[in-house]
Amino acid sequence: MTNKVVVLGSLNVDTTLHIDQMPKPGETISAKSKTNSAGGKGANQAVAAARSGAQTSFIGQVGDDSNGIFMIDALKLDGINTDHVGINQVDGTGSAVILLDSQGQNSIMVYGGANQAMKTEVIADSQALIKSADILISEFETPQEVTYEAFKLAKQHGVTTILNPAPASKIIYGLLEVTDLIVPNETESATLTGIEVNDTDSMDQNAAKFSEMGIDNLIITVGDRGAYYHTPSDSGFVPAFKVKAKDTTAAGDTFIGAFSSQIDKDLSNIEAALVYAQKASSITVQRLGALPSIPTAEEIKAEYK
């Protein structure tokens, strides 16, 4: 079965500055090189889902500029339906500046632009698309109010909703009630629950706190260590595949997109889907850039026979 995945999210043109080490406050340093690529958490997740075989559609917004055309064309290259990507006449296409050091670690500064200018009205225009989906994904690079409207509609039609609360910020009232699965990284989870993530016990405590907040299905990604999962019936930890990272940009997004292509709507195969997602993200971190680094299903299967 091929999952129908809809991503409601951000479209950014990424500029990556390659540096030896992160600058200290007030320090001026030289970049070794500069690269531009298509990115944004939403775009990364959609491309990861599409390359792993999901029938993928996108709900988003770009500016009326060359970067907007660039982003729509980038999605179309992977066969993603862009009929619901709107053009904003006022705000420019989102962008990000990424500082990437020689160890593969990054710092990212994002300009929201048209992404943050999205209004809830876009969901009314996307009702048929959302109703027909198996999985609906969203994150916090677009307004939470828009996600809330989309998730409410999804839940009325039996669509499984996945929330990636990144970048972490206070979650608006009601959103978790219509979220089936929340997927933060360890820093985002700690920000939202107030409980630091450093071992299995603290992950269990985070899961208990999220349950108090209204959501029982949780995945916490912990970088090169792996991913913790918790559902009402099971919990566990899936270790990461050990590789040498060149660039961690889009690793978490690849994880979520690849996961969405494999997960059953009732989350019953969560552990198997997590293993597949870990395989996908382990390939991404060995390559440079956001979209260019995301593997196909064939590459994932060839790498891990």
Residue 41 counted as an annotated binding residue: yes
Residue 211 counted as an annotated binding residue: no
Distance CA 146, CA 175 (A): 10
Residue 73 counted as an annotated binding residue: no
Residue 9 counted as an annotated binding residue: no
Residue 160 counted as an annotated binding residue: no
Residue 293 counted as an annotated binding residue: yes
Residue 194 counted as an annotated binding residue: no
Residue 224 counted as an annotated binding residue: yes
How would DSSP label each residue in 136-201? EEEETTS-HHHHHHHHHHHHHTT-EEEEE--S--PPPTTTGGG-SEE--BHHHHHHHHS---SSHH
Distance CA 175, CA 151 (A): 8
Structure tokens at 181: 């699965």
Distance CA 130, CA 8 (A): 10
Say whether 228 sits in a helix, a strand or coil.
Answer: strand
| Residue 253 annotated to the active site | yes
131 residue type, one letter:
K
Residue 221 counted as an annotated binding residue: yes
Residue 43 counted as an annotated binding residue: yes
Residue 253 counted as an annotated binding residue: yes
Distance of CA 265 to the CA centre of its chain: 18
Residue 31 counted as an annotated binding residue: no
Say whether 16 sits in a helix, a strand or coil.
Answer: strand
Q: In what order do the strands lie in the sheet with 81-88?
A: 81-88, 55-63, 4-8, 135-139, 160-164, 181-182, 218-221, 226-230, 235-239
User: Bridge-partner residues for 218, per DSSP?
Assistant: 182, 230
Residue 206 counted as an annotated binding residue: no
Structure tokens at 142: 């677009």
Residue 51 counted as an annotated binding residue: no
Residue 185 counted as an annotated binding residue: yes
DSSP state of 27: -
Residue 296 counted as an annotated binding residue: no
Residue 63 counted as an annotated binding residue: no
Catalytic residue among 73, 199, 253, 266: 253
* 111: Cβ contacts below 8 Å, ≥ 6 apart: 12, 92, 94, 95, 96
Annotation: binding site for substrate: 12-14, 40-44, 141, 253
Active site residues: 253
Annotation: binding site for K(+): 247, 249, 284, 287, 289, 293
Annotation: binding site for ATP: 185, 221-226, 252-253
Annotation: binding site: 12-14, 40-44, 141, 185, 221-226, 247, 249, 252-253, 284, 287, 289, 293
